[in-house]
Structure 1
Amino acid sequence: MVKQVAIIGGGIIGATDAFYLSFLQGNDNIQVTLFDDDTGQATKAASGIISPWLSKRRNKRWYALAKRGAELYPSLVSDAQLSNQAYQQTGTIVTRKNHDDLLALYQEAKIKEQHTTAMGRVELLDAKEVKRRMPLLTDAPEGVFVSGGARIDGGHFVSELLERAAANNLDVKNERVSLTANGAINTTAGPKHFDIVIIATGARMHESLQPLGLNVKVRPQKGQLIDLTVKMPHKWRNMPVMMPEGSSDVIPFNGGKLVIGATHENDEGFDLTPQPAARRQLLNNAKVFIKTLTDAQVSDMRVGTRAYTEDFAPFFGAVPTLPNFLIGGGLGSSGLTTGPMIGYLLAQAVFEREIDHWQDYTKPVSQYID
């Protein structure tokens, strides 16, 4: 008998989960329906950097999950045949304001390099070398280069994953749905029951699970970023991305798109209105390194809503007392790095395969649900 699986939420977790449910062995016994209406989705509004190894965060579970997520990307990109628009390994330049702090970061990176294959090559770069590798910078800082770092466009990433899955066993429904008290899904065609339901609704997970009498402890955070159009000669292709300490990421894409972001606003709820003050701040952050930028070059401003937990950590697993309900969320600002690994592990759970060491990556789901 074909197992009917529903995924509510088509962001980074839901889309990766849908792809693996269409790709892994046993997919011929699975039929997947994904429900998502895109409104405020953090993933599709985001461009980001995959480079967790030099993060200042000291949460061991988070780091283990982020490290595995970064390691997963090359095989996921290959298996799903994703384009360079979605993901490209270009290398990351990480900066520090203080030279001694940068040297300490470099030493930390060299130690990790010895046992972290996905990091690739680690180099200490002076400002002149950073400028050579990122020619669009007018005021280049010194930094640590990690060749395994990558850039990602969330919108292209999820749409390409869902397109691949839809060619096999996925049906995408562009609608917002809700749960009933008995676990059915209210759709435009009426209530429907599924064998397994995966809930990956990000900041709206609290709303999603309320009908089941569950209170998920997540809160929304508004994130805004800007796209700029810059002159990008062909010889500038495949520039690294830059993570400046205490400032906004600088993410150049081939073809003349430069992404700067993103903001972290905790008091805006689910408001998706682009704010002029955020636009000015992001542009000013970029002008620290690229003085020639002007407001006229801003071509777009994207807004999404992230989900945060009280301990700033992601969570995933089966809902207590409802084993046919799986959830994953609380990704915060690292969702593009940690989300795919969560999607992969949830897909393995659907196939009833033994999942090794989930406790290495997340606290029990019961920690995040009343």
Structure 2
Amino acid sequence: MSFSSRPSTAPAFRTLPPVADVVIVGGGVMGASIAFHLAEAGVRDIVVVECGELACGSSGKPIGGIRAHFSDPLNIELGNRSLRAYRDFPQRPGADIRLDTVGYLFVLTSERQAVEFAESVRLQNSMGVPSRMIDADEARRLCPYLSAEGLVAAVHSPTDGHARPGLAVRGYADAAALAGVRFATHTRVTGMDTTGDRVSAVHTDRGSVTCSTVICAAGAWSGQIGAMVGVDLPVRPVRRQLAFTERLSPAAPRIPFTIDFTSSAYFHNSDDGLLFGLADPRQADGFDTTWTPGWLDLFRDVVRHRAPALAEMPLADGWAGLYEVTPDHNALIGRSGDLPNFLYATGFSGHGFLQAPAVGEIVRDLHLEREPCVDIAPMSADRFRTGAAFRPETHVV
């Protein structure tokens, strides 16, 4: 499938320099975005450590949704800033990520959902996001696959869409490499040293590097990285699966990224077919990324009621990847209170790609001790210890 992520053309180093200013752990879209934004700001001696190839984890999987449709101001702002950055990606950093602004379409099947989403739409509109409530007939016009049976309302956000995460990682990494960032791929972090209240060295299976700052952007593996220095990053890995149809003839109409909110089933255009996804509520935690064709039975059972034609479409392939899930389904972004030179950006619970540009800016500013564009105090990992957790995000996919 053309969605497969190719290794970045950024130079890869199999050994580490003995000293660096910044070590970023994780070579997915978050690590690549942070590296790019730091390098763009003039930070030198940056090393990105990745245990596989760049984008080999969840960032290489092709869901690629980009939206500002959330239920709280902080996530709306992160999504909106990132959406603007992705629109500008061909100029900065300079790469085609195949952005398709087809919009998002949330399909609602209860009056309670409609009331909650209407409240979110009012908030989004107040922040410049042009989302709107629509009826079932208009939803079907936007997405002809939908059945009107049981539909109460829908929400359409026309400026949202989807892109190719692997292309974004390569775009950020290539630009960062041109600015001097070194990418140590196939390099696994095995431990870290601390001196007083600072992380002083990162150890890997290919050598050690003394550093001034460590940034954890290790996705589903972030809990393990944090534990190396006693920083609690409550992230659990949960498998998510998706599938691609065979080439469709006649071709699929251009449709929004469509989500049945009740079941979490979603679908959108993909090359010459469609992409399907669904979160299995019975999925156990773990690092298994085996794609299991039996998962399709669950998807088909759900979609027969919401978009019947999809249940009969022939499938060509599938993927499985990991969500990095926190207890309240909101990200962990901040600086350790015990180790001030240990920063983290993780736990995005499926929203990492869509928030990566804004988070790259934020972590850059944290490192440079500048005021970030938004107040990220609510996303501190300490919120679960202090009882200040978010209300769980309702618009989760």
> TM-score normalised to the size of structure 2?
0.77
2:21 touches 2:45 (CA, 8 Å); kept in 1?
Answer: yes
Bigger shift: residues 325-334 or 35-44: 35-44
1:6 touches 1:198 (CA, 8 Å); kept in 2?
Answer: yes
1:225 touches 1:262 (CA, 8 Å); kept in 2?
Answer: yes
CA 1:290–1:126: 2 relative to 1, 3 Å: closer
Aligned equivalent of 1:80, options 90, 93, 98: 93
Aligned equivalent of 1:139, options 147, 153, 165: 147
Q: Does 1:312 align with 2:325?
A: no
| Whole-angstrom CA distance in 2 between matches of 1:174 and 1:275 | 28
1:59 is aligned to: none
Give CA-to-partner distance per residue, 1:16-44, whole Å, 9 cap, x none.
Answer: 21221233xx32x4232211125972232
Q: Equivalences for 1:1-370 in 2 at 5 Å?
A: 4-23=21-40, 26-27=41-42, 29-36=43-50, 37=52, 41-53=57-69, 55=71, 63-77=72-86, 78=88, 79-85=92-98, 87-98=99-110, 100-101=111-112, 104=115, 107-108=118-119, 111-112=122-123, 114-117=125-128, 119-120=129-130, 122=132, 124-127=134-137, 129-135=138-144, 137=145, 139=147, 143-175=154-186, 176-182=188-194, 183-231=200-248, 236-237=253-254, 239-253=255-269, 255-264=271-280, 266-293=283-310, 297-355=314-372, 358-363=375-380, 365=382, 367=384
1:248 touches 1:285 (CA, 8 Å); kept in 2?
Answer: no
| Whole-angstrom CA distance in 2 between matches of 1:330 and 1:48 | 17
1:279 touches 1:301 (CA, 8 Å); kept in 2?
Answer: no
2:44 touches 2:181 (CA, 8 Å); kept in 1?
Answer: no
CA 1:298–1:191: 2 relative to 1, 3 Å: same
Letter in 2 for 1:165: A
2:68 touches 2:77 (CA, 8 Å); kept in 1?
Answer: no
2:68 touches 2:80 (CA, 8 Å); kept in 1?
Answer: no
CA 1:342–1:114: 2 relative to 1, 3 Å: closer
- Per the TM alignment, residue 8 of structure 1 is displaced from its structure 2 partner at its CA by 0.6
Letter in 2 for 1:353: R
2:130 touches 2:158 (CA, 8 Å); kept in 1?
Answer: yes
User: Which secondary structure state, in structure 2, belongs to the residue aligned with residue 307 of structure 1?
Assistant: strand
1:230 touches 1:257 (CA, 8 Å); kept in 2?
Answer: yes
1:34 touches 1:172 (CA, 8 Å); kept in 2?
Answer: yes
| Whole-angstrom CA distance in 1 between matches of 2:60 and 2:77 | 22
| Whole-angstrom CA distance in 2 between matches of 1:210 and 1:163 | 31
Structure 1 gap segments, 5+ residues each: 56-62
1:181 touches 1:212 (CA, 8 Å); kept in 2?
Answer: yes
- Per the TM alignment, residue 368 of structure 1 is displaced from its structure 2 partner at its CA by 6.1
1:203 touches 1:305 (CA, 8 Å); kept in 2?
Answer: yes
| Whole-angstrom CA distance in 1 between matches of 2:348 and 2:236 | 11
Give CA-to-partner distance per residue, 1:73-102, whole Å, 9 cap, x none.
Answer: 2432212344252x332211111113x456
User: Which secondary structure state, in structure 1, belongs to the residue aligned with residue 294 of structure 2?
Assistant: helix
1:102 touches 1:143 (CA, 8 Å); kept in 2?
Answer: no
Letter in 2 for 1:83: D
1:49 touches 1:152 (CA, 8 Å); kept in 2?
Answer: yes
Percent identity of equivalent pairs = 20
> TM-score normalised to the size of structure 1?
0.82
CA 1:288–1:219: 2 relative to 1, 3 Å: same
- Per the TM alignment, residue 198 of structure 1 is displaced from its structure 2 partner at its CA by 0.8
CA 1:235–1:329: 2 relative to 1, 3 Å: closer
Bigger shift: residues 180-189 or 8-17: 180-189
- Per the TM alignment, residue 242 of structure 1 is displaced from its structure 2 partner at its CA by 0.9
2:11 is aligned to: none
Bigger shift: residues 44-53 or 240-249: 44-53
Give CA-to-partner distance per residue, 1:104-140, whole Å, 9 cap, x none.
Answer: 35743553354121x225251433x3333334x1635
| Whole-angstrom CA distance in 2 between matches of 1:33 and 1:315 | 22
| Whole-angstrom CA distance in 1 between matches of 2:266 and 2:272 | 13
Cα root mean square deviation, aligned: 3.1
Question: How many aligned residue pairs are there?
Answer: 352
